[in-house]
Amino acid sequence: MTRRVMITCALTGGAQLSDKGKHVPVTPEQIANDGIAAVKAGAAVVHIHVRDPATGRPSMELALYREVVERLRASGLDMLINLTTGPGARHMPRLDDPKVSQDGSAPQTPDFRTQHVVELVPDICSLDVATMNFGEASIVNLPSHVRHMAKTIVATGVKPELEVFDVGHVWLASELTRRGELPENPVFQFCLGIPWGAPATVEALLLMKSMIPPGSVWSAFGISRNQMPMVAQAALLGGHVRVGLEDNLFVREGELAQGNAPLVERAVAILESLEMKPATPDEAREILSLGEARA
């Protein structure tokens, strides 16, 4: 029987846009339209950050999340909505005053970081289990914050997707699951190739896969030029996959992807070359042990 592989499309991300980011959706309308195109191309899940429509800078505004989600739901197209809870953890302390961030980042409380999940009740949401160097900045997710956010997310009826960027994050998430502080049958997203986390290699992927609790669902992605190779590797090792402009701007070497749909189409082609098929949204709900589609 042909294996069904769940494709997540990460539409816009939370990093500053470079001069190569001209096809990254920015406004709520653009993000929603790109999500719809990605689903039509074969994605079952859309992973959503939001941006300031005027500047393109990353944002945490509830009203922007609300507009994106409402547009997606109004489309009538079946899909799973995955809202990020990653923003609000970035800090880059100044050398002369570590209480102040060099780049203006303002770490937020766990309740602020999950307010849009409580208000909008997506199918799933990301939950970073990561304190790490992230380029020249730091991402701070203390275990106490992760527990608090997980409790809020689960109480809302949403399933957390555990984003892990390194081996220690898998260890922590597995231990929190064992203690009952994260849901049984967890969903892991292995985030590979982000400086300075786990590299986008088969060896790193195999090690992280070997550490997750029995009954877990897992997916993986690599950033930049490793995006499509990791689609093949994750699928071959029994996992699910993620693509999108959050993680990679090129559909092939030297050619910018003109939206998210071309990246999904390439992932579908890779899966089909391996005698696999993209999961439908209903099949993705079954894979993730979710209930009925959200209205």
**Which pLDDT does position 140 carry in this prediction?**
93
From the list 204, 251, 196, 209, the residue with the least C-alpha distance to 227 is: 251
In a domain, 66, yes or no: yes
From the list 152, 155, 145, 153, the residue with the least C-alpha distance to 125 is: 153
Q: Which domain holds residue 24?
A: 4-287
Task: Give the Cα separation of 97 and 104 in Å (integer).
Answer: 13
**Which pLDDT does position 105 carry in this prediction?**
77
**Which pLDDT does position 294 carry in this prediction?**
63
In a domain, 258, yes or no: yes
In a domain, 295, yes or no: no
* Residue 36: C-alpha distances to residues 219, 251, 262, 264 (Å): 21, 18, 13, 12
In a domain, 292, yes or no: no
Indicate which CATH number applies to the domain containing 100.
Answer: 3.20.20.70
In a domain, 218, yes or no: yes
In a domain, 293, yes or no: no
Residue 183's identity, in one-letter code, is P
From the list 150, 123, 74, 42, the residue with the least C-alpha distance to 286 is: 123
Mean pLDDT by 10 residues, the chain (295 residues): 92 90 96 98 98 95 98 97 95 87 83 97 95 89 95 96 97 94 92 95 97 96 96 97 96 94 98 97 95 65
**Which pLDDT does position 99 carry in this prediction?**
83
Contact indicator for 102, 94 with CB cutoff of 8 Å: yes
Give me the count of residues in the chain: 295
**Which pLDDT does position 292 carry in this prediction?**
66
Q: How many domains does the chain have?
A: 1
